[in-house]
Structure 1
Amino acid sequence: MKKILVPTLIAAAIGAMASAAQAQTAPAAPESTLSYNVGVVTDYRYRGISQTRLQPTLQGGADYADKSGFYVGAWASGIQWIKDTGTTVGVGGIKGGLELDLYAGYKGAVGDVAYDVGFLRYQYQGNNL
Structure 2
Amino acid sequence: MTAESTDPAVFAIARENRGSTAILRLRGDLDMLTAPILDEALSAASDCATVLLDVSTVGFVGSSGLSQFVKHHRLSAERGTRLVVVTGTNRVVLRPLTLLQLDLVLNLADTIEDALAVTS
| Range into which the TM-score falls when normalised by the shorter chain | under 0.3
Would you tell me which structure has more helix in proportion to its own residues?
Answer: 2
Scaled by the length of structure 1, the TM-score of the pair is: 0.26
Q: Which has the higher contact order (CA 8 A, sep 6+)?
A: 2
Would you tell me which structure has more strand in proportion to its own residues?
Answer: 1
